Amino acid sequence: MNSGINKLGRRNFIKKGMAGFATLTVGPSILHGSLLNEEKKNPKIVTRKLGNTGLELPVVSMGVMNADNPNLLRAAHDKGIVHFDTAHGYQRGKNEEMVGKVLKDMERDSFIVSTKIPGNKFDKKSGEWKIKTDAEDFIEKMELSLERLQMDYVDILYLHARSNKEEAVEPEILEAMIKLKEQGKTRFIGVSSHRNEPEVIQAAIDSKVFDIVLTAYNFKQDHFESVGKAIEDASKAGLGVIAMKTQAGVFWDKKEKENKINMKAALKWTLQNPHVHTTIPGFATFDQMNEDIEIMEDLALSSQEIKDLKFGEEMGMLGLYCNQCGVCNGQCHKDVDVPTLMRSYMYAFGYNNLLQAKDTLSSAGLEELPCDKCEECNVNCKAGFDVKAKLQRIYEIQNIPDTFLV
Amino acid sequence: MTLLINLFQLSIMLSIFLPNNDSMFPDIEGYQKMGKLEIYNPDNLYDCINGAADSYLKYDFEELKLLRYKGNTDQFLKIEIYKHSTNANAFGIYSNERPLKINWVDVGAQGYYESKILNFYKGQYYVKLMGYKIDNIEELLLSVANKVSDYLEGDNQFPKLLEAFPEEGKIDYSEQYINRNFLGYKSLAEAFTVDYKVDDKEFEMFLIKKNDANICRKMLEDYFTSIKMDKENIKEGKIQVTDPYQGEISIIWNNNIIVGVINCSDIQLIKKYLGFMSNKLKMN
């Protein structure tokens, strides 16, 4: 069992002057990663048990996907982060290779590494599987992942990115995963999801095979309540629960990128749910790393942080869909009823109610969408949506016969 | 009976009724195009490639067009054409995924083949082909890739700034473009990098070119703030940086260009390599 505290020592370096390198006395080549010229700070580490796995992890771990600098992983490990999450498909394997290069220099019991391999896709509408892999292929991918990671085993192997219960418990792939666990190539097996998460999590619980679920969970999800409930059910069933996509897209306004979400508050919000055992924020800079680790100093949300998480809602910037603030009224030079079309878009893509979307579109009374004639859209959406793109997309729904929509 | 149609299926459905703009996807003898063209944008790329989408979005991904083919029995082929905002960004995502050692193929500006997959880069495009249960698959994928490449706009050249890097000691195929968070700092961006090995000494060189000197100054000031170094030392010319995570970095800044060497302890080597780049870029 891993308590998660790194025991690497500090290294000493000759401090350099700023006289330019003509007069420079250069010390030894850089030894990787550790904090060099400043005192290593020991941040407060808060841990939670990862279900029935026997592992106890810091509540902040690292999603490695966005990092392309190996020293970031080393620094994170130095600061007490124990769990590193990658995947077979990230950067065509180079992400796993980077993780392997960094972790091979560390004691094997000082870290927990996870990777993910996809199965096949199941189309609920047609009831058909899109077959691209089988058990043999899955196992081959696992062998390749281990080779890249330079390890004999990973701690967690996930079935990657499942979108429904059928995909979560695909029999042949599940058998392959169990076999890999029996062979000692992975200590635990899990399933990951960022779509229809409650359904996938429930399937994982019902299967009685999985040890861990990895799920998208953040304050901006339209369905965070049902995800939170599913997380609770999984935890009570003894599964480890790890949360991802915790910081919900970084900016409230996707287009202008002027209003940044309070990232610490967003991460803390996820951990207010005691059934989330750890999180894997995908920090890509040292500042982001420090910010994420700092939340363990105090996991409680302050009143200001709670207010910050409501900022987007108050400013009409919450979520993926137009909230009908009406600021855009009258901005379109062609007099398109933008709020109505945006509402149609929301019905289609937010609520999957295509008939309602089409009815709403019809109510706008458009004979044709003039957007193609405008080089630049002068509608300035407060929420930062690309209004022209969304209108062009939803306008196509009028070409779909009603029989396809009911 | 009410059918639940999710976002992904809606995208497919809409694409059925869109004009079939798949002209960049060639006809392949013995194969039929399956379904209709799938088109993804930054809002829904995740639906197609899951968490890997973040890497593409980082490189200003604009659009993915995807088409599948089926052979006469159970062969299967898929072509993905990713369009990015600039040649540099397309090169960036391509180099981000490119292995150092692989079977290189002559297509676009550069391509490679590995185990039923062929990827290449040209202009603003990063193209990925994959096959399943196909005999002579490498030959087929190469033929198809060349047809796709011929259709795509752009030249078969790498970004021009890479020509400023010295050839001596360069580790082949190590060139990369990091458009954000270079070295783990938000302030450092749009860096071309190349790895070197000279007399068993391994180091990395980088080049950042911005629109004007003020932008470079701001970049360095913000970087110095992050690493708690005195900003008074920021002047055009040679700058020695002690980075708490990366170690020693030797930099030359002139006007709108910054070049640097990371992880090299040999002062003569630093002078030689930075001097080369400085001359090549006509930095005073």
Contacts for A27 with CB less than 8 Å, ≥ 6 apart: A13, A14, A16, B248, B265
Confidence at B187, pLDDT banded by 50, 70, 90: very high
Q: Is the pLDDT of residue A20 over 50?
A: no
Residue A11: its pLDDT value, please?
Answer: 29
Residue A8: its pLDDT value, please?
Answer: 25
In chain B, residues with a C-beta closer than 8 Å to the C-beta of A37 are 242, 244
Amino acid at site B209: K
Confidence at A256, pLDDT banded by 50, 70, 90: low
Closest-approach residue (CA) in chain B for A406: B2
Beta strands in A194-285 (DSSP E): 212-216, 240-244, 278-279
Asked which of A310-319, A345-354, A384-393 is least confident by mean pLDDT, the reply is A310-319
Please report the residues numbered 76 through 105 in chain A whose beta carbons come closer than 8 angstroms to any beta carbon of chain B.
87, 89-94
Amino acid at site A9: G
Closest CA to B276 of B198, B210, B216, B219: B198
Instruction: Note the pLDDT tens digit of each residue in A150-180.
Output: 999 999 999 999 989 999 999 999 999 999 9
Q: Is the pLDDT of residue A146 over 60?
A: yes
Residue A13: its pLDDT value, please?
Answer: 24
Residue A325: its pLDDT value, please?
Answer: 63
The mean per-residue pLDDT over the stretch B181-208 comes to 96
Asked which of A84-88, A398-402, B101-105, B190-194 is least confident by mean pLDDT, the reply is A398-402
| Lookup result for tokens 């590995």 | B114
Average pLDDT, whole number, for chain B?
90
B13 and A24 within 8 Å at the Cβ level: the answer is no
Torsion angle, alpha carbons of A358, A363, A364, A367, to 10: 80
B34 and chain A in contact, CB less than 8 A: no
**Cα gap A163→B48, rounded to integer Å:** 12
Please report the residues numbered 230 through 269 in chain B whose beta carbons come closer than 8 angstroms to any beta carbon of chain A.
230, 233, 237-240, 242-248, 250, 262-267
In chain A, residues with a C-beta closer than 8 Å to the C-beta of B237 are 20
B52 and A89 within 8 Å at the Cβ level: the answer is yes
**Residue B241, min C-alpha distance to chain A (Å):** 8
Closest-approach residue (CA) in chain B for A194: B50
**Cα gap A24→A31, rounded to integer Å:** 19
**Cα gap B187→A138, rounded to integer Å:** 40
| ipTM confidence | 0.85
- The strand pairing partners of A290, in sequence order, are none
Please report the residues numbered 94 through 123 in chain B whose beta carbons come closer than 8 angstroms to any beta carbon of chain A.
96-99, 119
| Pairing of the two strands A83-85 and B237-243 | unpaired
- Please give the angle made by the CA atoms of B141, A68 and A77, to the nearest 5 degrees: 135
Asked which of A84-98, A118-132, B49-63, B210-224 is least confident by mean pLDDT, the reply is A118-132
Beta strands in A146-263 (DSSP E): 154-160, 186-193, 212-216, 240-244
Closest-approach residue (CA) in chain B for A193: B50
Confidence at B211, pLDDT banded by 50, 70, 90: very high
The mean per-residue pLDDT over the stretch B205-229 comes to 96
Q: Are A63 and A277 in contact, with CB atoms under 8 Å apart?
A: no
For chain B, give the percent of residues with pLDDT over 90: 75
In chain A, residues with a C-beta closer than 8 Å to the C-beta of B186 are 285, 287
Q: Are B181 and A283 in contact, with CB atoms under 8 Å apart?
A: no
B99 and A33 within 8 Å at the Cβ level: the answer is no
In chain B, residues with a C-beta closer than 8 Å to the C-beta of A72 are 184, 245
**Residue A219, min C-alpha distance to chain B (Å):** 19
Residue A27: its pLDDT value, please?
Answer: 37
The mean per-residue pLDDT over the stretch A243-263 comes to 78
Question: What token pair was written down for A396?
Answer: 């196509």
> What does pTM read for this prediction?
0.79
| DSSP label of B128 | E
Query: How many Cα atoms within 13 Å fall on the side-chain side of residue A269?
Result: 27
Q: Which residues of A113-138 are buried (b: 16+ CB within 10 A; e: fewer)?
A: bbbbbbbbbbbbeeeeeeeebebeeb
Q: Are A277 and A57 in contact, with CB atoms under 8 Å apart?
A: yes
Which H helix or E strand runs over B67?
A: strand B61-71
Q: Is the pLDDT of residue A28 over 70?
A: no
Confidence at B4, pLDDT banded by 50, 70, 90: very low
SS3 for A322-352 is: CCCCCCCCCCCCCCCCHHHHHHHHHHHHHCC
In chain A, residues with a C-beta closer than 8 Å to the C-beta of B6 are 124, 163, 195-196, 352
Q: Are A42 and A80 in contact, with CB atoms under 8 Å apart?
A: yes
- A23 exposure class (CB count in 10 Å sphere: 0-12, 13-18, 19+): exposed
Beta strands in A35-87 (DSSP E): 47-49, 56-58, 62-63, 83-85
In chain B, residues with a C-beta closer than 8 Å to the C-beta of A163 are 6, 8
Comparison of pLDDT for A311 and A136, the residue scoring more: A136
Q: Is the pLDDT of residue B61 over 90?
A: yes
Contacts for A151 with CB less than 8 Å, ≥ 6 apart: A100, A103, A108, A113
Cβ of A41: how many Cβ atoms within 10 Å? Answer: 10
Query: How many Cα atoms within 13 Å fall on the side-chain side of residue A186?
Result: 26
Torsion angle, alpha carbons of A54, A57, A61, A63, to 10: 0
Comparison of pLDDT for A339 and B280, the residue scoring more: B280
The mean per-residue pLDDT over the stretch A192-205 comes to 94
Find which of A23, A24, A222 to mutate to test the B interface (most B CBs within 10 Å of its CB): A24
The mean per-residue pLDDT over the stretch A2-10 comes to 30
B51 and chain A in contact, CB less than 8 A: yes
Helices (H), B129-176: 137-151
A72 and B233 within 8 Å at the Cβ level: the answer is no
Confidence at A4, pLDDT banded by 50, 70, 90: very low
B267 and A406 within 8 Å at the Cβ level: the answer is no
Residue A25: its pLDDT value, please?
Answer: 35
Q: Is the pLDDT of residue A36 over 50?
A: no
Closest CA to B43 of A386, A124, A226: A386
Of A93, A94, A285, which is closest to B184 when you measure between CB atoms?
A: A285
B14 and chain A in contact, CB less than 8 A: yes
Residue B10: its pLDDT value, please?
Answer: 56
- B19 exposure class (CB count in 10 Å sphere: 0-12, 13-18, 19+): exposed
The mean per-residue pLDDT over the stretch A334-348 comes to 82
Confidence at A136, pLDDT banded by 50, 70, 90: very high
Comparison of pLDDT for B51 and B178, the residue scoring more: B178
Instruction: Note the pLDDT tens digit of each residue in A41-81.
Output: 678 999 999 999 999 999 999 999 989 899 999 999 999 99
A287 and B186 within 8 Å at the Cβ level: the answer is yes
Residue A374: its pLDDT value, please?
Answer: 84
The mean per-residue pLDDT over the stretch A218-230 comes to 92
Closest-approach residue (CA) in chain A for B8: A349
Contacts for B270 with CB less than 8 Å, ≥ 6 apart: A21, B250, B261, B264
A389 and B7 within 8 Å at the Cβ level: the answer is no
Instruction: Note the pLDDT tens digit of each residue in B110-166.
Output: 999 988 899 999 999 999 999 988 999 999 999 999 999 999 999 899 999 999 999
Find which of B14, B36, B50, B95 to mutate to test the A interface (most A CBs within 10 Å of its CB): B50
In chain A, residues with a C-beta closer than 8 Å to the C-beta of B278 are none
Amino acid at site B156: N
Residue A133: its pLDDT value, please?
Answer: 85
For chain A, give the percent of residues with pLDDT over 70: 82
**Cα gap A393→A348, rounded to integer Å:** 10
**Cα gap A378→A358, rounded to integer Å:** 25
Residue A317: its pLDDT value, please?
Answer: 52
**Cα gap A369→A116, rounded to integer Å:** 43
**Residue A91, min C-alpha distance to chain B (Å):** 5
Closest-approach residue (CA) in chain B for A118: B50
Which of the given ranges, A18-22, A351-355, B81-85, has the highest pLDDT on average? B81-85
Q: Is the pLDDT of residue B246 over 80?
A: yes
In chain B, residues with a C-beta closer than 8 Å to the C-beta of A285 are 181, 184-186
Which H helix or E strand runs over B46?
A: helix B45-49
In chain B, residues with a C-beta closer than 8 Å to the C-beta of A75 are 184, 245
Question: What token pair was written down for A384?
Answer: 């930062």
A26 and chain B in contact, CB less than 8 A: yes
For chain A, give the percent of residues with pLDDT over 90: 53
Residue B99: its pLDDT value, please?
Answer: 84
B240 and A17 within 8 Å at the Cβ level: the answer is yes
Residue B44: its pLDDT value, please?
Answer: 82
Which H helix or E strand runs over A306?
A: helix A303-314
Is the Cα dihedral A270, A273, A275, A277 positive or negative? positive
Q: Is the pLDDT of residue A404 over 90?
A: no
A38 and B270 within 8 Å at the Cβ level: the answer is no
Residue A321: its pLDDT value, please?
Answer: 63
Confidence at B11, pLDDT banded by 50, 70, 90: low
**Cα gap A87→B5, rounded to integer Å:** 29
Q: Which residues of A167-179 are buried (b: 16+ CB within 10 A; e: fewer)?
A: bbbbeebbebbee
Of A68, A91, A396, which is closest to B14 when you measure between CB atoms?
A: A396
The mean per-residue pLDDT over the stretch A224-229 comes to 94
Asked which of A36-40, A287-291, A312-316, A346-350 is least confident by mean pLDDT, the reply is A36-40
B55 and chain A in contact, CB less than 8 A: yes
Residue B1: its pLDDT value, please?
Answer: 41
**Residue A388, min C-alpha distance to chain B (Å):** 13
**Cα gap B246→B269, rounded to integer Å:** 18
Residue B5: its pLDDT value, please?
Answer: 47
A160 and B247 within 8 Å at the Cβ level: the answer is no
